[in-house]
Structure 1
C-alpha cells in the first residue's frame, strides 16, 4: 500500500471513528509528513463565552492538537520500511501528546475555521509541530506548539 492511500485511510478513520472529533465537527481535510489541515464549522454548542459568542478555548486547543497529532502520525509512517497494516497499527500505538501550548490571539469568531500544522522537528522518539487556527476571513485566532511521542 502506498503512503498516500494510508494517509487517506487514516484520515477517514479519524474523521469517522473518533467520537470526540465528531462531537466537535473536526474534519481532517489532508495531511502528509510536512503539513496537515483540519476544518470545522461554527456550531452553537462550541460556545465558550455566551455573551461574546466565541469558541471555547478547549475547542481551539483540541483542533490544534488534532492537526499537530496528524502531522506527527504522518512522520511516523514516513519513517517505516514496512507499511503493513500490522506494523502501522503497532507504531500508531506510540503516538501521544506530550505537551501542548496554545496561544489565543483573538476571540474565536467566524463561521468556518481552518487549522494548519507543520512539523518543526521530527526525531525517532519525539516530533514537534506548529499549528495555526484561522477563520474564513483568514483572521489568525490562535497558534500552538505540540510535542508528540512518536517512538
Structure 2
C-alpha cells in the first residue's frame, strides 16, 4: 500500500473517531482496518439502552453502528482502487458527498452484552456505489444483527 493510501486510512479513522459528534456520543471506535474490511467497537453504556427492563441495546444504536462500519468499509475499498495522484485528490474532494443510499437490518437476538463488535466487508463495488455486508456480535461472539447497505462513494 502506498504512503498516500495509508494516510487516507488514518484520515478516515481519525474522521470517524474524532470528528463525528454522533459517533462520539454513542462511543463508537474504529478498531481495525484493512483493504476490504472494517471493525468498530462499542462498550455498553446505560444511556444506549432501548429496553431498560432487560438492558438491551437500542435498535437505533444497532442500526447506527452497522451503518457506520459499512460506510468505513466502502471508503476503504474506494481507497484501495485509487491509482494516481489525481484520483487521491478527487477522493478527498468527493468524500463529503458520500453516504448511505439504502440499508436493511435484521435483528437476530436481543442486544445484550458488555462489548459489541461490528464488522463489515464490501461484497460488490461499482464505479459509484459499494454494497456492504455488516454484522454485530457481542463479546461472547453471539450474532446480534446483520445488515446489508448500499453506499455512494
Tell me the TM-score range normalised by the shorter chain. Answer: over 0.9
Name 1:120's counterpart in structure 2: 123
SS of equivalent to 2:97: coil
Runs of 4+ that moved beyond 3 A: 82-86
Query: Hey, what does 1:136 align to over in structure 2?
Result: 139
For 1:83 and 1:42, locate their aligned partners in 2 and report how far apart those are by CA, in whole Å. 42
| 1:93 corresponds to which of 91, 96, 105 | 96
1:38 to 40, 50, 54: 40
Q: Provide structure 1 residue ranges, at least 5 long, that are not aligned to the other structure.
A: none
Cα separation, 2, equivalents of 1:83 and 1:11: 21
> 1:21 maps to which residue?
23
Question: What is the aligned residue count?
Answer: 150
Output the CA distance in 2 between the equivalents of 1:118 and 1:76.
Answer: 12
The separation in 2 between residues aligned to 1:78 and 1:90, in whole angstroms, is 17
Summarize deviations over 1:22-42 as a string: whole Å, max 9, x none: 000000112233110000100
Q: Is the 8 A contact 1:76 1:91 kept in 2?
A: no
Structure 1 length normalisation: TM-score?
A: 0.93
Report the TM-score, using the length of structure 2 for normalisation: 0.92
